[in-house]
Amino acid sequence: MLSLGSVGAKSTKPSFVSYVTPEEIKLEKEPPKIEKHPDLLPGEVEFCCANPILKYTQDDMSQRGIFGTLFCTNFRVTFISDEKSQEETTKTFKNKLYGENDIPLMCVDHIYGVYDEKKKLITGGLVKNKYPSKMIIHCKDLRVFQFCLTFTKEEDAKKIFQGIAHHCLEERSLKCVFAFSYSGTPKMQRKCIILDKMQRKWETILFDSPEDWTQEMKRTRANCRLVTENENFELSQRLPKYFVIPSALGDLFSYQGKGFPIWCWSHHSGCALFKASLPPVTQEDGDFQKHLDIMLNAVAHNYLYSAKTEDLSESLPTIQDIQQSYNKFKQFFLIENSTDFWLSDVKWFSSLESSGWLDIIRQCLQKAVEVVECLEKDNTNVLITEEEGTDLCCVISSLVQIMLDPYYRTLMGFQSLVQKEWVAGCHAFLDRCNHLHQKDKECHSPVFLLFLECVWQLVQQHSPAFQFSETYLTVLSDSVDVPVFSTFLFNSAHHRESVMKAESPLAQSSPLSCPTVWDWSVQFDSKAQNFFFNPLYSEKVKHEKAVRKAHKPKHQRQLSLPSTAFKPPSKKGFFKDETDSLKKILRVKRLSRWMGSPDSPAATTRGFYESWKQRPLDYHGLLLPCLDGPAVRVWMQRYLRWIPEVHIMGGGSVAVMTKLMELLSQVQDLKRVLEQRDSSQAVKLDHRPYIQHRLLSFGSSGRLSSSFPFAYSRNRSFKPIIPTGLMQSLMVTDSLASQEDEASSFVSLV
Amino acid sequence: MEKSGSVDSVESLCSSTTTRSDRSSGTRVSDTELRSKGRAIEKVLQCKYTSKGELPLLPEELVQDSAKDVTYICPFVGPVRGSLTVTNYRLFFRCTDREPVFGLDLPLGVLSRVEKIGAATSRGDVSYGLACKDMRNLRFVHKEPEDSLKKSVFEVLMKFAFPVSNNMSLFAFEYKQVFPENGWRVYDPLAEYKRQGLPKESWRISKVNDHYELCDSYPAALVVPVTITDEELRRISSFRAKGRIPVLSWIHPESQAAVVRASQPMVGQNGRRCKEDEKLLQAIMDANAQSHKIFIFDARPSVNAAANKMKGGGYESEDAYQNAELVFLDIHNIHVMRESQRKLKEVVYPNIEDSHWLSNLESTHWLEHIKLILAGALRIADKVESGKTSVVVHCSDGWDRTPQLTSLALIMLDSHYRTIRGFQILLEKEWLSFGHRFQQRVGHGDKNHTDADRSPIFLQFIDCVWQMTRQFPAAFEFNEYFLITILDQLYSCLFGTFLCNSEQQRLKEEVPKHTVSLWSFVNSQLEEFVNPLYVHYPSHVLFPTVGIRHLQLWVTYYIRWNPRMRPQEPVHQRYKELLAKRAELQKRVEELQREAANRTASSSSERAGSPTRSITPVQTFV
């Protein structure tokens, strides 16, 4: 049966009650006034403004631009054009929180000032006296803004420049982040609480309650133990409130401060993946070695007494490497003018390679495949470790789960995975993303983005296996830097809880409640959310669930026994008796597998990948990425969307998506007609909300550019290298629908 | 000399077919039917094993020799033992000891070189390396035959792989398959000119080259400005290299801006002039009332164009040609391109060095050349469309870079050339009738693999088209398989389409009479080549992005022999499934409707507007 991916998910969506009142999000439709002000969000406060400011049009080499007013608020830097903008109103994919001329303060990456033709990076100290003639803002979502300050009054220019520099660059405290003033208003609090309750009913599992974990263990048929002793963070402030450990592990308080294996996921064979924060294994400390052995034994005890362990900090780049590489990489996309663009185009491939970013992505995917091989092929328990246990461990464990478990390839599953491994898993988002502009550079690193990059590689290679689209991933990567959500704002569960309690406006009654990023209606209306779904997703056919169950008969376990030396644990006493010999063998296993491979890690998994490729492709089974050079690509949508030189007018993947979505909606319509026809014997016809279920119809795809749905192209002047002047002929198109065969005629009637 | 590292091989098309069918038969049973239809395409020309493992031959294809116990050294799976068969058309290797069945099946035309590697070893093994035109190398090892008088299978192979060098005819002249459609009729110059509205007030169709006397590499029908007489054309022909005078390729239906192609003017070091040629260019400009300017695009780098003056050639001086603006497009010559292709082959075959893939790719300059060609075509198209200005395009002889540029610009400008038949017409017109030297550039049946006239000019053009199809996935009626088929058949020598160097030669050799056209084959199973995403926008002009960030290496062509790089199920597959699903649902709706209509009609007659077939289902129920 051919199934229609996005339909099912969409129909379960409750109609959203917007807590941003229509007046609040209404755009400047009134006749142009002399004094324009931004429409402030709840809790947003205007700091300073300046007029007239010239905003250079990015896609133009000349010094032309639009005049307007530049504002700085506690949420964003915003530019409001003096001219009336039509574009904002026609956008189909509009972010409700910030528009195309808004830069959330958290999203500012660097500010440059142009002083006498010289471009200088603005740091805290440089702000005092002089202000630059031109201010260039590089955003974390790779937008580039250029403002000319010379047309406005000197004091205004100084004020706005210093204001922006201060609010964007200076180190500040967490409580100054906009999320708290936004959610802090009593009105928003009530809404957030209602939303929070609503959300829990139907979507993302947040993994902040024992039930969530129990449920997850049940789903994966895990045989582990839920730990509730850390409810008040007595065990550790770096650990989640609730987590799961191997059932063989004894009293946790005796291991306090040493780190122990935390369960991530169980394979259907029974073996499982664990992660732990452990210092490097090389330590010659006897105590530590003993501790390690106990941990490993506990892991091994989970299934068949086999375990492999891997220190990720040894085999993968450090978080500083990742940071450095990404800093180089992103420069290629922060293009300020056409000349730069064409210059960098020449050495594009070698610069790309020298940044090493794609190679880091490859290494992470490679490592994940190695772990998958252990779980899937050898049915061995795996323990991945790293000093903190919350960076690369999160990357690898999440990737492994996506490759092995189709549930995590659905939108809700993916979000739950991010909650489980990253948010509840205590990834230090606040430090890694440097939301507070701390000076300490050591702890910044785009680890989460790296994970999204890896997922994108999987999505582009196996598109039908994923319910979500690349647009979803791009939006998610942007949302990290939108200071409205609580999701990416903290360093750990303990951190979150203590801050939320402290910031609560309703005194001691209950902690502050912020919307999570998963509540997409905060940012996008339901129509725009359609872009999150992949029209190519091939939804799971119902009966396959039974197949998977049948896949796990007991005898299979016997077949996959790595060695006959072990017997399945039948008695409790068994473990104790065999511990010594077991330890010995384990050590051997561990050494043989992981230490031997660094020379040619690719070679070992190559065979695994090839034998997987031989098998019939099952989008709901194991999924492995191809890691050969040409297969690892640049995430074009995320990185090229703002560069006008690479916009393909009337082309790009949006052309395919448009066509697919259109076709999908036709199939849905027909299905519906059939259903209704079947039930038409009944007198009353079922008038279900028909239009709501229809996917977007774009009107004419001819006018969309490849950067859709992000940047919108406008008429541009002729450029000698890339002539583009044909907007007219591209604009004049018949609607897509009328080009279609008979089927479209009825679609238009609906 | 064969370098040990680059000796390689191929995964056969047969084996790829088996793997893929395995795949789809697996999980989604209900889809198998749909998919097998999509796969039928692969069966068409590639030989498939019959149930007994026999080799089904094409008409007039004869087995020439075969050898058992030959080892094929596959760079991907290691040595494979099997039997080798050579016919007058193909090489066929079948492995005997491996599951799933593994085989190689390639037309001999694809071979550019066959040579023995090293001397016979002590064990009596002889090794052969086969270099192919389609980005792969094969290596075989077999035992020296005991009977030293008997020819080895490779000597037989050598003979049939290079029939031209052995005074034999190409297999195309023997292949007598009959197809429902005759592809030789696809292109009728007068009909194509008529489609463009020619002749019209300022343009006429001249018969001056009817017998190829004016220019033997040009077609018989030429479109020139009415104000230029045949006599003047003759005089111009002595001023343009190889007599290739400026003639019209395409005219804009609205602005009347024309794309004109030519070869370089024979200016020489003394700055020769030809007043008829100047008059001709003036007449071209005058034919377009919208613009008082004409652009001359010289495809070469300016240095090379200047160097050509030493050999009597050169470029138009702006003194002699008033109102003309000369632009150099910096596209390199055939030798640079050949070298680039050689490097590319080294980088992609057999193994890819993952960690240096990007810099290796950059070092081949392949995509840079593609970028320059596309950028040149883009500038031409922009001048014609946005500037409403006529353009003259030439390189040195006007048969390599010039057709690359004109045909790409035409694809951008005219949606007709983005259809399957329109593209065939474009190839027949810009490439074949205007004398791109296919025989020389490809070296059909010629063993002289070091021939400096060989160059992947046409391959580059197809690559550029592919880049455009990637950027505009819904703008082309044909799919990727169509482009790959054209390239495969370019080398195979199964069809007569790409034989010879010019229209005149093809007529002289009676190619249309004695061979089958590739388009006969293609147009007899069009559905295999259709892009299901195609939307026909008649008025759309496509301006591709030529930044290297948006150019990709054509992995599914250049790296298709690497089993690891085989594509996953393409988007198109899913799209075809949806189309089928829609058709099925629609059929059911109609059936039910008819049923309902019958019932209503029989039970009561009060309902007006009795449903006919044409009524839309939605109206009835919503």
B457-471 vs B401-413: helix crossing angle, rounded to 10: 20
What tokens were used for B56?
């089904």
> A44 — contact with chain B (CB < 8 Å)?
no
Q: Is B352 in Cβ contact with A628 (below 8 Å)?
A: yes
Q: Which helix (H) or strand (E) holds B300?
A: none
The domain segmentation of chain B, as residue ranges, is: 58-168, 183-236+332-574
Residue A47 belongs to what H/E stretch? Answer: strand A46-56
Model confidence band, residue A90 (pLDDT cutoffs 50, 70, 90): low
Question: What average pLDDT does range A362-369 have in this prediction?
Answer: 95
Q: Find the radius of gyration of the CA atoms of chain B.
A: 27
pLDDT at position A595 over 60: no
- Looking at the predicted structure, is the pLDDT value of residue A669 above 90? no
- Say which residue, B147 or A34, is predicted with more confidence: B147
Nearest by CB to residue B353, choosing from A461, A629, A659, is A629
Cα atoms in the 13 Å half-sphere on the side-chain side of A516: 23
Contact: B26, A618; criterion CB under 8 Å: yes
Question: What pTM was computed for the model?
Answer: 0.85
- B543 Cβ under 8 Å from any chain A Cβ: yes
Contact assignment for B548 to A346 by CB distance below 8 Å? yes
Q: Pick B619's closest partner by Cβ from A649, A652, A749.
A: A749
Sign of CA dihedral B32, B33, B37, B40: positive
Residue among A239, A236, A254 nearest A389 (CA): A239
**Cβ of B570 under 8 Å from any chain A Cβ?**
no
pLDDT band for position A339 (50/70/90)? confident
Rounded Cα distance between A605 and A370, Å, is 6
Higher-confidence residue of B298 and A602: namely B298
Q: Per-residue confidence at A26, pLDDT binned at 50, 70, 90?
A: very low
Contact B517/B496 with Cβ under 8 angstroms?
yes
Of all residues in chain B, the one with the smallest CA distance to A613 is B564
Q: What is the mean pLDDT of chain A?
A: 76
B11 touches chain A (CB under 8 A): no
In A, residues 326-355, which contact B (CB 8 Å cutoff)? 341-342, 345-350, 352-354
Angle between helices A601-614 and B13-26 (to 10 degrees): 70
Phi, psi of A27 (to 5 degrees): -100, 170
Higher pLDDT, B357 or A339: B357
Model confidence at A397: pLDDT above 70:
yes
Whether residue A551 has pLDDT greater than 50: no
**Block mean pLDDT (10 aa), chain B, length 622:** 34 33 33 35 41 72 89 89 92 81 89 84 80 94 71 86 93 93 95 95 94 96 96 96 96 94 95 95 93 94 92 93 93 94 94 90 95 94 93 96 97 96 97 96 94 96 97 92 96 96 96 96 92 84 89 93 75 74 81 80 51 31 24
The residue of chain A nearest to residue B582, with distances taken between CA atoms, is: A667
What is the arithmetic mean of pLDDT over A196-209?
75
A622 in contact with B, Cβ within 8 Å: no
Compute how many other C-beta atoms are within 10 angstroms of the C-beta atom of residue B52: 5
Per the annotation, the verdict on B215 as an active-site residue is no
pLDDT at A207: 92
Catalytic residue among B14, B395, B464, B493: B395
List CB contacts (< 8 A) between A536 and chain B: 571, 574
Which helix or strand (DSSP H or E) is residue B95 part of?
strand B90-95
CA distance B101 to chain A (A): 13
Residue A553 at interface with chain B, using a CB cutoff of 8 Å: no
User: How far is Cα A71 from Cα A708, in angstroms, rounded to an integer?
Assistant: 27
Q: What is the pLDDT of residue A570?
A: 37
Closest CA to B418 of B484, B367, B372, B466: B466
ipTM of predicted complex: 0.85
pLDDT of residue B41: 36
Could you report the per-residue pLDDT of A176-192, keeping only the tens digit for each? 889 888 887 777 777 77
Give me the residues of B, 324-363, that contact A with CB < 8 A. Answer: 352-359, 361-362
Contact A649 B543 (CB under 8 A): yes
Nearest CA in chain B to A542: B28
Nearest to B622 among A626, A651, A750 (CB): A750
Q: Of A620-629, A702-711, B26-35, B255-264, which range is least confident?
A: B26-35
Of B559, B581, B589, the CB nearest to A673: B589
B143 is in an annotated binding site: no
Give SS3 for A686. Answer: coil
Helix (H) or strand (E) holding A196: helix A186-202
Identity of the residue in B362, B375, B542 whose CB atom sits nearest the CB atom of A650? B542
pLDDT exceeds cutoff 50 at A101: yes
Task: Taking residues A101-129, report their average pLDDT.
Answer: 85
CA angle at B446 for the pair B441 and B447, rounded to the nearest 5°: 115
Of A5-19, A366-380, A719-733, B22-36, the one with minimum mean pLDDT is A719-733
Range with the poorest average pLDDT among A402-416, A460-474, B596-610: B596-610
Tell me how far apart the alpha carbons of residues A94 and A710 are, in angstroms, rounded to a whole number.
Answer: 9
**Which tokens sit at A493?**
């569960």
**Higher pLDDT pick, B479 / A543:** B479
Q: Is B573 on the interface with A (CB under 8 A)?
A: no
Q: What is the per-residue pLDDT for A715?
A: 41
Is residue A463 over pLDDT 80?
yes
Instruction: Give the pLDDT confidence score for residue A508 in this predicted structure.
Output: 54
Residue A89: exposed, middle, or buried by beta-carbon count in 10 A (0-12, 13-18, 19+)? exposed
For A648, A656, A737, B517, the CA distances from A702, given in Å and listed in that order, are 11, 12, 12, 36
User: Binding site annotation covers B396?
Assistant: yes
User: Is pLDDT at A505 greater than 60 in this prediction?
Assistant: yes
A619 pLDDT band, cuts 50/70/90, is confident
Q: What is the pLDDT of residue A645?
A: 80
> In chain A, what residues touch B569 (CB-CB under 8 Å)?
464, 617
* Partner residue facing B621 (CB), from A1, A645, A685: A685
Is residue B567 less than 8 Å (CB to CB) from chain A?
Answer: no
Domain B58-168 CATH assignment equals 3.40.50.1000: no
| Among the ranges given (A275-279, A730-734, B66-70, B514-518), the one the predictor scored with the smallest mean pLDDT | A730-734
pLDDT tens by residue, A521-542: 889 988 888 889 888 888 776 5
The verdict on whether residue B351 carries a ligand-binding annotation is no
Q: Is A726 within 8 Å of chain B by CB?
A: yes
Residue of A nearest to B353 (CA): A629
Task: Flag if A671 and B543 touch (Cβ within 8 Å).
Answer: no
- DSSP secondary structure letter of residue B265: B
- Give all strands (DSSP E) within B45-182, no chain letters: 63-74, 78-87, 90-95, 103-107, 111-117, 125-132, 137-143
Pair type for strands B258-261 and B390-394: parallel
